[in-house]
Homo-oligomer: A and B are copies of this chain.
Amino acid sequence: MSPADKPVRIGMLGCGVVGSSVARLLLADTAELSTRAGVKMELSRIAVRTIKPYEGINPSLFTTDPFSIVNDPEIDLIIEVMGGIEPARELIMTAIENRKSVVTANKALLASHGAEMFTAAYAKGEDIYYEASVAGAIPIIRPMRDSLAGDFVTRLMGIVNGTTNYILTKMHEDDREFADVLKEAQALGYAEADPTADVEGFDAAAKAAILSGLAFHTRVTVDDVYREGISKITLEDVKIAKSMDHVIKLLAIAELTPADEISVRVHPVMLHKSHPLASVRDAYNAVFVEAESAGSLMFYGRGAGGAPTASAILGDVVAVARHIALNSVGQRETDYADRDIAPIESTKTKFLIRLEVADKAGVLASIATTFANHGVSIQTVNQAGRNDDAEVTIVTHLATEGELKATVESLKKMDAVQNISSVIRVEGATSA
């Protein structure tokens, strides 16, 4: 196909680390990318808060008025890389109203207002593409939505936040405490000054919502995602995990329950070291998908950074520009299955519980009885004495969160139990 005469004109909202990467690559490679799209593309306008010089970008492209871009009838395609909910939401909705297709990397917006945006775009016959919103450069949206369109996903587990994976990797490999590594990560620019969004799992929860919605053909928002971060994980937890051939990872997990509900959650997990996700180190991301026909799949790569995110955005830009030229639209997410979200209390996993107890006869028996009374079956018990106290490490068989919580409440009331040091979920290649 030879490039059509009328170019696809592109406006970009935001020009930070990702946006400036997108602009530079798009300007430098316009000819090749246009050949791939089958239509000439042109980066026409860029909205920024303050106009300043950007290397390799013509200053005449900039404006401080983003609405002038989404209201410009000459612009066909909007790249949104400003982030945040407002004004990004209003700008995108205005762009769609004005019949422009949208490429966005805005996971927070998609995970909170996705339904509204998709509905509007589909009504107008426009694309919303968002490959860059989850796991940076890793193709995961397109495989989930397009490649697996003929299959049935049953479960996915992902390392989708690079900052926390970096921190956990350092805790494992250098035997360091969480706070110590976090401080270093902040100094290196791997973690924000306010690290809450990463460390407490909010970023991963937004990505979990996006992926589970695609996987299970249901609208899932970030409010549907159960969430725990890694700030309570101690070096002692890490050492115990390692002694049991496991590693601790912050995972986004989404799976169908036996009742055909969606269980979707983000929390630290003890993962057996033989699991493919266990060897994903540093700031790398990976998503492990199980589907009925395909079996197990894994997608691995860089989850953040200017150039990797720009790669994902430009892949979307080529596809959407092509659809504009062909007067067509791409594959769409569907919500026909409309499944319910399972309450976290009914989610089944295994648990590791570490207890400090008085080291005297009968304590272990009474602890075991407490587990049994709540219907929680014990897989392994390990007791290590120290002076008059003992530390007991228990791994359960599959139990619901509700059963486990009730067990922990009862344990806390026992005189012999001095402290419950940690409760961590266990996933991977251990027998059920």
Residues of A within 8 A of B (CB): 1, 21, 25, 29, 32-33, 35-38, 122, 131, 137-139, 142-143, 146-152, 217, 276, 279, 291-302, 305, 307-308, 310-319, 322-323, 326-329, 331-332, 334, 336
Contact A313–B143 (Cβ < 8 Å): no
30 examples of A-B residue contacts, CB within 8 angstroms: A21-B293, A25-B150, A29-B150, A29-B152, A35-B334, A36-B217, A36-B334, A38-B332, A137-B293, A138-B297, A139-B146, A139-B147, A142-B142, A146-B318, A148-B315, A149-B315, A149-B318, A149-B319, A150-B311, A150-B314, A150-B318, A151-B311, A292-B307, A293-B308, A294-B308, A296-B302, A298-B298, A299-B299, A299-B300, A300-B300
Contact for A295 among B1, B37, B293, B301, CB less than 8 A: B301
A143 to B35, CA, bound (A): 18
Contact for A300 among B37, B292, B297, B316, CB less than 8 A: B297
Contact B317–A150 (Cβ < 8 Å): yes
Apart from A149-B314, A300-B300, what 16 extra A-B contacts exist at CB < 8 Å?
A1-B332, A36-B150, A131-B147, A137-B297, A138-B297, A139-B297, A148-B311, A150-B310, A293-B311, A294-B311, A294-B312, A297-B299, A297-B301, A318-B331, A323-B328, A326-B329
Residue of B nearest to A299 (CB): B299
Min distance, Cβ A85 to any Cβ of chain B, angstroms: 26
Residue of B nearest to A25 (CB): B293
Assess A302 versus B308: contact at CB under 8 Å? Given A139-B147, A147-B131, A332-B38: no
Contact B296–A301 (Cβ < 8 Å): yes
Residue of B nearest to A38 (CB): B332
A38 to B37, CA, bound (A): 24
A314 to B21, CA, bound (A): 36
Residue of B nearest to A280 (CB): B276
Residue of B nearest to A301 (CB): B297
A305 to B298, CA, bound (A): 17
B-side contacts of A307, CB under 8 Å: 292-295
A291 to B142, CA, bound (A): 18
B-side contacts of A297, CB under 8 Å: 137-139, 299-302
